[in-house]
């Protein structure tokens, strides 16, 4: 099951802004996974995340983005 070098999704918490995010990466068993994930957590782009959160707040008018895009697709036909 645990093939070395297989893709894994790991939940990380940014040490700077405490955002939980998922990183998918190919991890071989030859590296120190704990140190690797710690380094990846520290790579979190806090500024980009903050901007994303802002833009989500700004689009609060769209309550269900999925439904809205479906409706838009329907309207094209």
Sites of contact with Zn ion (CB under 5 A): 14, 16-17, 19, 44, 46
What's the gap between Cα 28 and its chain centre? Answer: 21
**3-state SS assignment for residue 65:** helix
Tell how far CA 24 is from the center of its chain: 9
Of the pair 46, 52, the CB lying nearest Zn ion is at 46
Nearer to Zn ion, 5 or 15 (CB): 15
Q: Which residue lies nearer to Zn ion by CB, 9 or 61? A: 9
Task: Give bridge partners of residue 49 from the DSSP assignment.
Answer: none
CB of 24 to Zn ion, least distance (A): 17
Report the nearest approach of Zn ion to the CB of residue 53 (Å): 11
Instruction: Take residue 36 and report the two structure tokens written for it.
Output: 């690797």
């Amino acid at each position: 099951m645990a093939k070395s070098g297989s893709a894994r999704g790991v939940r990380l918490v940014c040490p700077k802004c405490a955002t939980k995010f998922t990183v998918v990466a190919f991890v071989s068993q030859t590296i120190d996974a704990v140190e690797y994930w710690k380094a990846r957590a520290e790579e979190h782009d806090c500024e980009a995340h903050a901007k994303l959160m802002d833009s989500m707040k700004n689009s609060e008018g769209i309550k269900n983005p999925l439904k809205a895009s479906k409706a838009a697709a329907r309207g094209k036909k």
